[in-house]
Chain A
Amino acid sequence: MIEIVGLKKSFAGIPVLQGVDLAVADSERLVIIGGSGCGKSVLLRHIAGLLKPDAGILRIDGRDIVPLPERDLNPIRQGVGVLFQGAALFDSLDVFHNVAFSLIEHRAAAPKEIRERVAEVLAVVGMSGQENKKPAELSGGMRKRIGLARAIISRPRIMLYDEPTTGLDPQMADSINRLILKLSENYRVTSIVVTHDMTSAQMVGERIAMLHQGKILVSGTPREIQESPQPIVQNFIRGISEERAAQRG
């Protein structure tokens, strides 16, 4: 269970999050949508414990992580997997060592088991046999898949996806969306997906929340969001710019 109450964050005096209230149930798939620069990724990074808010409460399984120092966050982080927007693979390591990184670092398994688990997660993301490649040799979609394999190898209870389909062609985006669904259903992980891709949001979201001007404007099932009477929501999901909306009156 993730609970966010009154979360605020500013950068150089510019407010980005202005009191976000949100709750995510165990095993739920929540998609957070919103325009570029509205603070979706900032919110996700707070949940991952990568940013400290200026104010507010962020509880994971009942424990407020906001006051925790960096070292004390580590046990919580081990239960959270993150797929970064650019995959954030380590350039100096090959695919095997990227994927096995957390297991090796935390000595969480014997070498034989690590090899088996790497092979298992690479099979899950459809990247079997790519262990010896370097990140520079991979396409954008392949990097995302490897990033996903790296995130799930430690069997997290919470998965955070930052713009998982951005920069991918529609087929690869569909493939990533299916992976997110598969992981959620097979491993019963709590999934939070940040995206501005409405196709992706409709496909993977059990619930969609829209972030606007630093607050959650609306939250509901994909159908409820689709039928929302709020003009801001309708303009966003139909891709109508603010200028065009103003012209329409």
Chain B
Amino acid sequence: MERLFQRFGAGTLRFVDYLGSVATLTSEAFRSLVTMRPRWRETTLQVYSIGVRSLPVVLLTGAFIGMVFSAQSYFQFHKVRMDTSTGPAVSIALSRELAPIITSLMIAGRVGAAMAAEIGTMRVTEQIDALRSMAVLPVEYLVVPRMIAIAFSLPLLTAMSIAIGIFSGYLVGVEVLNIDGAYYLHNMYIYTEDKDIYTGLIKVFIFAFLVVFISCREGLHCEGGAEGVGRATTEAVVNSSIAILITNFFVTMLLSKIIPP
């Protein structure tokens, strides 16, 4: 019994320590954002790496999520002869939940892993120490440009994912499943509101910070050579994904109070 309590206590301490290190990194990054000079070159490179290079995978997943959600919605609505409700169902679900979550998880997997691996490798090969020895703060050089880039890119990627998801959902619904195209679009315009889009984009803006701080924290605390880098990469993806899913629930509830659906 005593051992059980010890394990629980040690686990709790590790968790609190982990949260503390992420919070410290977050506060350091926001402080640096105010105090440091802009690093346009690094930030532009990160926008390219995070935003532009993620575009194919985000568009592909967005398209197929839109297609499958359109088909599934149609199968259910068809039972009660409400086929044309498929349009608004697809657009609202994509705008509020599916595109933000899927895009954020894809970015956590692709970009979060890359951040943890790159910074982790720098850590184990003393490059982080070299930065510090040259009076350059790793947070300013490595974290802040990534933070700006992902906060800028993720909402844009999500907006593109929503757009292609709706378009591909329309193609499946109208061209494949023979829903009346005019009613499909009409109902979609009527029932989809601006706030559906806003809430989705506000959520991914928050998820962007979760991905960057969790992934950079894993890289900066990486230890133990190649094995450590591998561990940091896995932890970055797993922890970012869990944090996105948990935060999504609470942010959704909070936003429903501020912007009623």
Q: A residues bordering B, Cβ < 8 Å?
A: 45, 48-50, 70-71, 73-75, 77-78, 80-82, 84-86, 88-91, 101-102, 105-106, 150, 154
Contacts and interface: CB of A to CB of B under 8 A. Distances in A.
Contacts of A150: 134
Nearest to B118: A92
Contacts of A73: 135
B130 A90 contact: yes
A71 B134 contact: no
Interface in B122-164: 122, 125-127, 129-130, 132-137, 141
Contacts of A102: 134-136
B135 A82 contact: no
Contact of A50 (B125, B133, B137): B133
Contacts of B137: 70-71, 74
B136 A82 contact: no
25 contacts: A48-B133, A49-B133, A50-B129, A50-B133, A70-B132, A71-B137, A73-B135, A78-B135, A80-B133, A82-B129, A84-B126, A86-B125, A86-B126, A88-B126, A88-B127, A88-B130, A89-B127, A90-B127, A91-B125, A91-B127, A102-B134, A105-B134, A105-B135, A105-B136, A154-B134
Contact of B133 (A75, A82, A86): A82
B130 A82 contact: yes
A2 B245 CA distance: 52
Contacts of B122: 90
Contacts of B125: 86, 88, 91
A93 to B, nearest CB: 10
Contacts of A91: 121, 125, 127
